[in-house]
């Protein structure tokens, strides 16, 4: 199997994606740390990192919207980290594209804009892709590792760069952007369903603000469109690698396999599907052995022991179920699959990040450490 480590080592961008809570942020941090230790200058962009992760990285004041050097020993490499501040990023993007301060001000103070910058679904993904673009162009860094927001559907991240231009392409917004004194009434039949939809998101009282927003936007579409194209191109570049993280549950695995396949179909490079938090197999016996022992203990009225055997039986069942699900994925996935066990504790210190990295990059693990019996 071509090692994920080599692939990541050659990449300029790594995108960690997957559904909520599967270990994207932790995986991004572990991966970044490892690559930095191999001598590269790495920046990890995280989304809502757990407090304890920032602590683990020696950043007790937390991560900020600007890249900070992480004070860990990385030899010739460097590890940097930042947290995505979506509203601040959005404002920077608007100011970057605006023709003058007055236009920027009109937009960033607009209520529709403010709602969109903080609440619209897809905005976080959009801003993560903007951050990626910005950091990729920053010559302080060799590799940008992007952790993605907990999307319902990981495809959202791919569509994020065009979230705004898709809005702009809508004929209703084209009409809205035309200067008009007659107001909305003349469009009402055509626009009503869409306005209702916006109204549900931002509140119908701010529809006037929406119109003002799109009018203020005039002249900036071209810049946004070009940027969306650049980000899309970057995501598809040869040296961009997607890492799809998943839990070992059936539905999650099916979705991850589908997503990995979808990425490949759409021309993105997938380095691996990482199945995280696999339950270990406890001892040599089968689930049935444990349940038999539980029954024997119950017959002897040793209820505590029976409960322990039952528990063990259930854990073995869980591990066996996960094993068979992952085997199925291994047999069908068109990308390498990397297995990471459930570690004894949450990953909240450097030691456990290293531990995780050894599973992410098993080739290096074999080089550096004899196999433990975890
Ligand atoms: N292999 C593992 N063993 C034990 N704990 C783990 C493992 N991987 C991740 N965790 C823990 O699981 C929790 C969730 O991980 P993480 O925050 O990385 O998920 P996420 O995918 O980024 O979540 P979200 O979608 O909410 O952003 C964290 O507390 C982390 O320490
Ligand atoms: Mg996360």
| pTM for the structure as a whole | 0.84
Say if CB 86 and CB 51 are below 8 A apart.
no
- Indicate which ligand has the atom closest to the C-alpha of 26: 1
Distance from the alpha carbon of residue 23 to the mean position of ligand 2, in angstroms: 7
**Ligand 1: residues within 6 Å at CB?**
20-26, 47-48, 50, 150, 276-277, 340, 342-343, 346-348, 356
> Can you state the angle between helices 207-216 and 111-119, rounded to 10 degrees?
90
Mutate to test the pocket of ligand 1, among 23, 354, 355 (most ligand atoms within 8 A of CB): 23
Distance from the alpha carbon of residue 257 to the mean position of ligand 2, in angstroms: 20
Handedness of CA 221, 227, 230, 231 (dihedral sign): negative
Distance from the alpha carbon of residue 277 to the mean position of ligand 2, in angstroms: 15
Task: Kindly give the number of the ligand 1 atom that is closest to the alpha carbon of 147.
Answer: 22
Cα 136 to Cα 118: distance, rounded to the nearest angstrom: 24
Task: Kindly give the number of the ligand 1 atom that is closest to the alpha carbon of 340.
Answer: 1
pLDDT of the residue at 126: 84
pLDDT of the residue at 199: 66
Say if CB 316 and CB 287 are below 8 A apart.
yes
Torsion of CA 359, 364, 369, 374, to 10 degrees: 10
Distance from the alpha carbon of residue 67 to the mean position of ligand 2, in angstroms: 17
**What residue ranges define each of the domains in the chain, with the CATH number in brackets?**
4-246+343-368 (3.40.50)
Query: What is the number of residues in the chain?
Result: 374
> Nearest-CA neighbor of 246 among 276, 279, 280, 278?
276
pLDDT tens series, the chain, 374 aa: 447 888 888 999 999 998 888 999 899 999 999 999 999 999 999 877 667 777 777 787 788 889 999 998 999 999 999 998 888 998 998 999 999 999 999 999 988 888 877 766 678 888 888 899 999 999 999 999 998 877 656 677 777 777 777 777 766 666 665 554 444 444 455 566 766 776 676 566 666 777 777 778 777 878 888 888 899 899 999 999 999 999 999 999 999 999 899 899 989 999 999 999 999 888 888 999 999 999 999 999 999 999 999 999 999 999 999 999 999 999 988 889 999 999 988 888 888 999 999 999 876 555 555 444 43
pLDDT of the residue at 224: 83
Residue nearest atom 9 in ligand 1 by C-alpha distance: 23
DSSP state of 342: P
């Amino acid at each position: 199997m071509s090692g994920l480590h080599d692939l990541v080592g050659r990449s300029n961008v790594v995108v960690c994606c997957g559904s909520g809570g599967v270990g994207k942020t932790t995986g991004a941090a572990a991966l970044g740390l490892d690559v930095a230790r191999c001598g590269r200058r790495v920046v990890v962009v995280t989304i809502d990192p757990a407090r304890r992760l920032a602590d683990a990285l020696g950043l007790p004041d937390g991560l900020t919207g600007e890249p900070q050097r992480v004070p860990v020993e990385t030899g010739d490499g460097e590890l940097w980290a930042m947290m995505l501040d979506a509203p601040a990023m959005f404002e920077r993007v608007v100011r970057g594209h605006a023709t003058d301060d007055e236009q920027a001000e009109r937009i960033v103070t607009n209520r529709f804009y403010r709602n969109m910058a903080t609440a619209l679904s897809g905005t976080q993904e959009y801003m993560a892709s903007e951050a990626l673009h910005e950091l990729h162009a920053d010559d302080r860094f060799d590799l940008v590792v992007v952790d993605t927001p907990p999307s319902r559907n990981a495809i959202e991240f791919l569509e994020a760069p065009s979230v705004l231009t898709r809005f702009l392409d809508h004929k209703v917004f084209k009409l809205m952007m035309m200067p008009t004194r007659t107001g909305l009434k003349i469009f009402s039949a055509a626009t009503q369903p869409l306005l209702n939809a916006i109204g549900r998101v931002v509140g119908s009282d701010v529809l006037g603000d929406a119109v003002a927003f799109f009018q203020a936007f005039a002249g900036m579409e071209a810049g946004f469109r070009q940027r969306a194209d650049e980000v899309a191109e970057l995501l598809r570049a040869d040296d961009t690698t997607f890492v799809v993280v998943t839990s070992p549950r059936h539905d999650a695995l099916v979705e991850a396999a589908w997503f990995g396949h979808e990425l490949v179909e759409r021309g993105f490079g997938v380095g691996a599907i990482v199945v995280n938090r696999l339950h270990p197999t406890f001892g040599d016996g089968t689930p049935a052995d444990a349940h038999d022992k539980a029954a024997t203990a119950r017959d002897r009225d040793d209820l505590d022991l029976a409960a322990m055997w039952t528990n063990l039986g259930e854990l073995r069942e869980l591990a066996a179920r996960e094993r068979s699900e992952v085997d199925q994925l291994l047999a069908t996935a068109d990308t390498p699959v990397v297995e990471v066990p459930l570690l004894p504790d949450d990953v909240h210190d450097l030691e456990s990040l290293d531990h995780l990295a050894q599973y992410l990059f098993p080739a290096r693990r074999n080089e550096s450490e004899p196999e433990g019996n975890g």
